[in-house]
Structure 1
Amino acid sequence: MFIQTEKTPNDNAIKFLTGSTILDESGPRTIEFVSRKDALKSPLALKLFGVPGVVSVMFGSDFITVTKDDSSQWTVLKPDLFSIIIEHLSSSLPILGDLYFRGVEDASASADAGPGLDSDHQQIVSEIKELLDTRIRPSIMEDGGDLEFVSFDKSTGILSVTLQGACRGCSSSEVTLKNGIENMLTYYIPEVKSVLNVGSELEKLSNDEFSKFSSKLEHQ
């Protein structure tokens, strides 16, 4: 098995081109794991998080983007990451575990309950997602990142998204968000007035809740 690496706009993120299928076409185009707790959903992601310095892992159709912290060096991390990826992909072990699929089923059940949006709002959201999926996300994924729709506030025109993979923490990502993504969305969909990256806020909230839960367990 021959795996190549490709630089991304984020110096702390590298894209591993595996030459084999990581995520098939029937599922999501990318899946990101931003903590060891999150990585419990994937045997491969959990192994990659075992390498000191790894802070996030994102799977694409045929690539894996790994992001490190500022203090770690790629010359130290790369050999271990290569070894883990090759060993896992050469085995019969799954990329995603049962915990991930149970979460997908729960999310699907919640979605079936309906968001309570009026038909006009739902139409705008559909148009936004279509534009994101066809014009914006493919370009971002080429750089080892991705963008996920979070919500759209019709009253303010604010579209909330999360930047993932190599885009997370990248200094140029906010410029791209405003100068490229926001301009395209506001041009094609007048209801959109601005685009806001809320990924860091959501991640902080999730980590805070997990810390509170852990603290309760320790005091029991």
Structure 2
Amino acid sequence: MFIETETTPNPATLKFLPGEEVMAAGTREFRDEEEAAASPLASALFDLGDVTGVFFGRDFISVTAAQGTDWSALKPQVVALLLDHFITAAPLFNPGSAAGIVVPGEDEDVGDDPADADVVAQIRELIETRVRPAVANDGGDIVYKGFREGVVYLAMQGACSGCPSSTATLKHGIESLLKHYVPEVIEVRAA
């Protein structure tokens, strides 16, 4: 087995590609050791000491290191843990602890106005078909959180969370795209 690595726009995060499915559906982000307790793999990654975030995507795992961490020392340790996990076919989650998985269309409880149903459907379609694949290429995900009074609320996850260019991505990339196709969109904000 070979695990590829890719850089991301976030210099603190590397994307690891095991060449097989990580999550069959949805994504899962771990921002601290307490959240990571749900997954033996995430927990082991945090146990390395310099890891501050782990993100499971469909076919990749993004790992974020603490500021000032030397990736040349941490990367081989991460690869070794990932190899061990996938070679032994260990479970990704502890029994009964898969809560927190984000599945598009099932992860929100935003109370959108029913009068905006057509607009919300257009926004969700654009996010799913145009935005999420691009963000996944960078080792992260984006989650729709709501649409109110012309403002779309989105949450960045994985490598995109805390990335220096995430604000530019939201404001210049995603906002421009949504405004172009959905005239009711006035602004995009981080949720």
* TM, length-normalised to structure 2: 0.89
- The Cα of 1:42 is off from its aligned counterpart by 1.6
Distance 2:106 2:170 in 1: 31
- Distance, in Å, in 2 between the alignment partners of 1:116 and 1:70 is 37
- CA 1:110 to 1:131, structure 2 compared with 1: closer, same or farther past 3 Å? closer
Contact kept, 8 Å, 1:7 with 1:13, in 2: the verdict is yes
| Equivalence for 1:55 | 52
Q: CA deviation at 1:186?
A: 1.1
**2:134 equivalent in structure 1:** 139
User: Does structure 1 residue 91 correspond to structure 2 residue 84?
Assistant: no
Aligned to 1:206: none
What amino acid is the match of 1:197?
A: A
Instruction: Say if 1:186 and 1:170 are closer, same or farther in 2 by CA, change over 3 A.
Output: same
Aligned position for 2:115: 120
CA distance, structure 1, for counterparts of residue 20 and residue 119 of structure 2: 36
Partner of 1:17: 17
* CA distance in structure 1 between the aligned counterparts of 2:185 and 2:117, rounded to whole angstroms: 13
Q: Where in structure 1 are there 5+ consecutive unaligned residues?
A: 199-220
Q: C-alpha deviations, 1:120-165, integer Å up to 9, x for none?
A: 2233222211110101110111111211111221x2x111111111
Is the CA contact (8 Å cut-off) linking 1:18 and 1:62 kept in structure 2? yes
Check 1:191–1:97 CA distance in 2 against 1; reply closer, same or farther (3 A cut).
Answer: farther
User: Which secondary structure does the structure 2 equivalent of 1:149 belong to?
Assistant: strand
TM-aligned CA deviation for residue 88 of structure 1: 0.9
Q: Structure 2 matches for 1:101-180, cutoff 5 A?
A: 101-102=98-99, 117-153=112-148, 155=149, 157-180=150-173
> Structure 1's 171 and 93: CA in aligned 2 closer, same or farther, altered over 3 A?
same
Distance in 2, matches of 1:86 and 1:23, equals 16
Counterparts in 2 of 1:11 and 1:188: CA distance versus 1, 3 Å: same
Aligned residues with identical type, % of pairs: 39
Partner Cα separation in structure 1 for residue 28 and residue 51 of structure 2 = 16
The yes-or-no answer on 1:187 pairing with 2:180 is: yes
Give, in angstroms, the shift of residue 45 of structure 1. Answer: 0.9
Tell me, what secondary structure is at the counterpart of 2:37? helix
Q: Report the count of equivalent residues.
A: 188
Aligned-partner Cα distance in 2 for 1:115–1:168? 20
Structure 1 length as normaliser, TM-score?
0.78
- The CA RMSD measured in Å over matched residues stands at 2.2
2:189 equivalent among 196, 203, 220 = 196
Which one of the candidate residues 26, 45, 53 is aligned to 2:42? 45
Partners of 2:8 and 2:107 in 1: CA distance: 35
- State how far apart, in whole Å, the 1-side matches of 2:98 and 2:183 are: 37
Residues 85 and 179 (structure 1), Cα distance of their counterparts in 2 relative to 1, 3 Å cut: same
Separation in structure 2 between the aligned mates of residue 38 and residue 55 of structure 1, nearest angstrom: 11
Question: If you compute each CA radius of gyration, which structure gives the higher value, 1 or 2?
Answer: 1
More contact order relative to length (CA 8 Å, sep ≥ 6): 2
